[in-house]
Each structure stands twice: as structure tokens, then as C-alpha cells.
Structure 1
Amino acid sequence: MVRMDNDMPFLLQYENVAWYDNGKVRILDRRVYPTEVRFVDCFTYQEVVKAIADMVTQSAGPYTAVGMGMALAAWQVRGKSESEQNAFLQQAAYDLAHARPTTANRYGQITYRCADLAAKALAEGKDPIEAIVESTVESLNRRYSTMQIVGDHLASLIPQGGTILTQCFGETIIGTVMRAARKQNKDFRVFCAETRPYLQGARLTSSCFAQMGFDTTVITDNMVAYSMEREHIDVFTSAADSIARDGHIANKIGTFQIAILAKYFGIPYYVTGVPDKDKHTKDDIVIEMRDPSQVLSYRDIPNTVEGVKAIYPSFDVVPPHLISGVVTDKGVYVPYTLDHYFDSDVKVFY
């Protein structure tokens, strides 16, 4: 099988996201990268669920992890009756899909497809683990291929020699827009908002751009207005964890305020991704509330005195009037027209 992770930075190589091998799933611990290159070994699918919930991997990483987690579930229940295996895999599909609530619909497309393929393999006397791993790699290839089209569209919106501002870690779109820029002989500077409290923008996004030779600068989250005014930002862009059909999008907390600043300074904001067919309005987007203690410290070093409280909503919902365009594999849509994305029979894979 031809893989689509060629010419991608370290973080986007399939084995460096999540990988099943002989009774375990190996997941790169993005919480400590690049300070340390460390992998977390999961020996049950339940440990994969916990790893996703604990942010060992995030952005698009869980799309790979849940598929590999389904292969691990099949390994856990090997040797049982066909009915027991199918029941176990259905439960695993649900549990893995709901590792994080905001993107449960997207994870579920992967996990239930894996469960169906496993049931078919069992009925035919074949190895369900092999079928699940193969399906997960095929899903990765489809996602990378689809996002390459998105990356091509986004690169065309970035001026030659211009400067873009990113938020959080857009994962696949980062790799594909860099490949597109090379193909188009286009160069640009990158400013990465650090993205508290996990610093994905500083640790992950900037690492990818710098490793691929782009002029990369990290700013703290409260330097955005200064940078937009004085550093000649041409485009603000982010991926989205959810894109509702009414044009609202959910992305890492902090995106909303950057979008407001972009509007103020007249800088276009382009969201990248594929709309969610089953999310019609912003009311269908569930905001995950994480442990507030993660705001009060970083890598176990307290930032506050005892008794200080915190909140930690994982995502912002950005309204469509702040979004210049939603860049998809079918082109760039005005956010109010996203329903037209589904006019034709389109199969969406994650």
C-alpha cells in the first residue's frame, strides 16, 4: 500500500502518531515533545481511551489512535466466541469514540467502521486485527489525501513572501500546506501562538514548520494584537475540531479572541477542514471541560498559590461572521453557505 505520509515532518509520520504492533498500541507522548521523544505503550483499548483523554495525543492524532485501539481490542478478545468478540468490539467502539466528547462523532465513524470490518472478517474466518489495521492505514491515507487538497487551496490563499498566524496544532493541514507550498514554489513566514495550557502551538506546530525549513516564530497568546499590528500578519488560519453546517466552528480555546482581533485588523481568517454532516448548528457542538488543575500548573510545576481556582474549557465556538472562508477539499466556502458542501453525494472520512 502506498502511504501518504512521505515528506511529512516527524510528528506526522504514521508510526509517530499511534501504531498497533503485537498486542500493544504505541502512542507518541505529545505532552512532552520536543523536550523528550517518549512513547506511551497501551496494552488494552481502555488504556488507549485514557491516553486520548489525558492528551497523550490530540488534534488529529486520536483519529489514528482509536483505529489502532480497535485492533488492540480485537487482540484482547481473541480466542473468544464470535458473538463475544463482536459484543466486545462494539463496546470498544463506543468507549474509544467517546474518549473526548467534542469529536465523538468523528471518532465514531472510525471505530464503528472497524467493528463492522472485524465482524465481517470473523464471519469469513479471517483475522479481524489485520482487517482493522489495514482499514486504519487506509483511513489515514484518505485523510492525508483529502487534506492535501485542502492544503493546496490554503496555500493558494497565502501571498508569496507573506506571513501567516496559526493557532494550536492543525496536524495534517500543516504538513499538506507545506507540501503544497513547495509544489507552488511559495515561501512564507509563520507565527505560532503558543496555545496555553499545553503549548501545542509552541511545541508541535512550530516544530513541524521549523523542521521543514520555514521561517518560524513563536509568540505568547497575549502577543497576538501586537504581532498583527507590527509584524505584518497577512493570514490567520486554524484547523477546526468541529465545523457546523450553520458556519460556527469549534477550535482550541483562544481561537475566538484571535478571530476577533483578525477582524479588527482586517486580516482574513481561514478555517480548514471538512464540515460535520450531523452538526447543523452551534448547539450541536459540545464543549469539553477539562480538569482546571491543568491551568494552575505546567509539567507539575505550580503557577499559583494554593486556593486559586481555574477553569479550562477546551474549545471556543467561533461565529461565522468572523470567518473569511472555510477551506475544504471541495473549495473555499463562505461559512453561511456550508450546507452546499453536502449538495452532492460526498463520502467524508476521518
Structure 2
Amino acid sequence: MVRMDNDMPFLLQYENVAWYDEGKVRILDRRVYPTEVRFVECTDYREVAQAITDMVTQSAGPYTAVGMGMALAAWQVRDKGEAEQIAFLKQASYDLSHARPTTANRYGQITNRCVDVAAQALAEGKDPIAAIVENTVESLNRRYSTMQIVGDRLAELIPNNGTILTQCFGETIIGTVMRAARKQNKDFRAFCAETRPYLQGARLTSGCFAQMGFDTTVITDNMVAYAMEREHIDVFTSAADSIARDGHIANKIGTFQIAILAKYFGVPYYVTGIPDRDKKSRGDIVIEMRDPGQVLSYRGIPNTVPEVKAIYPSFDVVPPHLISGVVTDKGVYVPYLLDQYFDTEAKAFY
């Protein structure tokens, strides 16, 4: 099988996201990368679900982890009868897909398909574990291929030798827009907002751009207005954890305020991704509230005195009037017309 992670930076190579092998799933711990290159090893699918909840992997990383977690679940019941295996896998599908609420619908598309391919394999006397792993790699290839189309379109919107600003870690789109830029003989500077409180922009996104040879600068989240005013930002872009059909999108907390600044300074904001068929409006987007302790400390070092409280909403919802376009595999849509994406047949993405 041809893999689509060639020429990708370390973080985007399949085995460096999450990988199943002989009763174990290894997940790169993005909470400590690049200070450490450390993998969390899971021997039970519930440990994979917990790793996703704990943000051992994030962005699109859980899309890989849930599939590999399903392979691990199949391994756990490999000696049971067919009916018991299917029942166990259905429970694993639910547990893994609901590890984080905002993206449960997307994870579920992957895990439910894993149940289906396992059932088919069992009916045909084949190994369900191998079938699930193969299905997960096919899903990876499908997403990388589709996002390459999106990356090509995004690269076309970036001026040659221009400057882009990113928020959080957009995973696949980061790699594909760089591949597209190289193919188009285009260069650009990348400014990466640090992305509090977990610093994904600083720790993950910036490293991918730098490793691929792009001029890369990190700014803290409160430097965005300065950068837009004085560093000639041409495009603000982010992926999205949810894209509702009415044009509202959810992305890492902080995206909303950057979008407001982009509007003020006349910087176009392009969202990348595939709309969610089952999310018709803003009201269908669930905002995950995380442990506020993750705001009060970082890597075990307190940021405040003990009497201070915190909140940690994981995502912002950005309204369509702040979005210049939603870049998809079918084209760039005005957010108010995003529902038209579904007027033609949509290929499977996850």
C-alpha cells in the first residue's frame, strides 16, 4: 500500500502519531515534544481513550489513535467467540469515540467503520486485528490525500514570499500546505501563535515549518495585533475541530480573538477542513471544558498562588462573518454558503 506521509515532518509520519503492534499502541506524547521524544505505551484500549482525553495526542492525532485503539481492542478479545468480540468492539468504539466530546462525531466515523471491517473479517474467517490496522492506514491515506487537495488550494491563497499566521497545530494541513508550496515554487514566512495553555503552536507547528525549511517565528498569543500591524501578515489560517453547515467553526481557544484582529487589520482568515454533515449550526458544537489546573500550572510548575482559580474552555466558536473562506477539497466556500458543500456527493474522509 502506498503511504501518503512521504516528505512529511517527523510529527506527521504515521508511526510517530500512533501505531499498533503486537498487542500495544504507541502514541507520541505531544505534551512534552520536542523537549523529549517519548511514547506512551497502551496495552488496553481504555488507556488509548484516556491518552486522548489527556491530550497525549491532539489535533488530528486522535483520528489515528482511535483506529489503532480499535485494533488493540480486537487483540484483547482475540480468543473469545465472534459475538463476544463484536460486542466488545462496539463498546470500545463508543469509549474511544467519546474520549473528547467536541470531536466525538468524527472519531465515531472511524471507530464504527473499524467494527464493520472486523465483523466482515470474522465472517470470512480472517484476522480482525489486521483488518482494522489496514482500515486505519487506509483512513490515514484518505485523509492525507484529501487534505493535500485542501493544502494545494490554501497555498494558492498565500502570496509568494508572503507571511502567514497560524493558530494551534493544524496537523495534516501543515504538512500538505508545505508540500504544495514547494510544488508551486512558492515560499512564505510562518508566524505561529504560541497557543496557550499547552503551547501547541510553539512546540508542534513551528517545528514542522522549521524542519521543512520555512522561515518560522513564534509569537505569544498577546502579540498578534503587533504582528499584524508591523510584520505584514498576509493570511491568517487555522484548521477546525468542527465546521458547522451554517458557517460557524470551532478551533483551539484563542482563535476567535485572532479572527477579530484579522478582521480589524484587513487580514483574510481562511479555515481549512471538511464540513461536518451532522452539525447544522452553532448549537450543535459542544465546547469541551478541561481541567482548569492545566491553566494554573505547566509541566508541574505552578503559575499562580494557590488561592487563584482558572477556567479552561478548550475551543472557541468563530462566527461566519469573521471568516473569509472555508478551504475544502471541493473548493473555497463563503461560510454562509457552506451548506452547498453537500449538494454534491462527498467522499468518505475519515
TM-score range, shorter chain: over 0.9
Q: Displacement of 1:347 after TM fit?
A: 2.2
Q: Give the whole-Å Cα distance in 2 for the aligned partners of 1:174 and 1:107.
A: 20
Q: Give the whole-Å Cα distance in 1 for the aligned partners of 2:145 and 2:159.
A: 24
TM-score (norm 1): 1.00
Residue pairs, 1:260-279, within 5 angstroms:
260-279=260-279
Q: Give the counterpart letter for 2:298 in structure 1.
A: Y
Q: Give the counterpart letter for 1:336 in structure 2.
A: Y
Q: Give the whole-Å Cα distance in 1 for the aligned partners of 2:171 and 2:117.
A: 27
Partner of 1:201, secondary structure, is helix
Structure 2 segments unaligned to the other structure (5+ residues) = none
Q: Displacement of 1:345 after TM fit?
A: 1.6
1:66 corresponding residue in structure 2 = 66
Q: Displacement of 1:348 after TM fit?
A: 3.1
Residue pairs, 1:104-183, within 5 angstroms:
104-183=104-183
Partner of 2:217, secondary structure, is strand
Partner of 1:34, secondary structure, is coil
Q: Give the whole-Å Cα distance in 2 for the aligned partners of 1:347 and 1:6.
A: 23
Q: Give the whole-Å Cα distance in 2 for the aligned partners of 1:308 and 1:162.
A: 42
Q: What RMSD, in angstroms, separates the aligned Cα atoms of the two structures?
A: 0.4
1:75 aligns with 2:70: no
Q: Displacement of 1:59 after TM fit?
A: 0.1
Q: Give the whole-Å Cα distance in 2 for the aligned partners of 1:337 and 1:2.
A: 35
Residue pairs, 1:1-350, within 5 angstroms:
1-350=1-350
Aligned residues with identical type, % of pairs: 87
Q: Which portions of structure 1, spanning 4 or more consecutive aligned residues, are displaced by more than 3 angstroms?
A: none
Q: Displacement of 1:322 after TM fit?
A: 0.0
Partner of 1:339, secondary structure, is helix
Q: Displacement of 1:125 after TM fit?
A: 1.0
Q: Give the counterpart letter for 1:172 in structure 2.
A: T
Could you give the per-residue CA deviations for residues 248-278 of structure 1, whole angstroms, max 9, x where no partner exists? Answer: 0000000000000000000000000000000
Q: Displacement of 1:307 after TM fit?
A: 1.2
Partner of 2:19, secondary structure, is strand
TM-score (norm 2): 1.00
Q: Displacement of 1:123 after TM fit?
A: 1.1
Q: Give the counterpart letter for 2:263 in structure 1.
A: K
Could you give the per-residue CA deviations for residues 184-208 of structure 1, whole angstroms, max 9, x where no partner exists? Answer: 0000000000000100000000000
Q: Displacement of 1:346 after TM fit?
A: 1.2
Could you give the per-residue CA deviations for residues 272-293 of structure 1, whole angstroms, max 9, x where no partner exists? Answer: 0000000000000000000000
Structure 1 segments unaligned to the other structure (5+ residues) = none
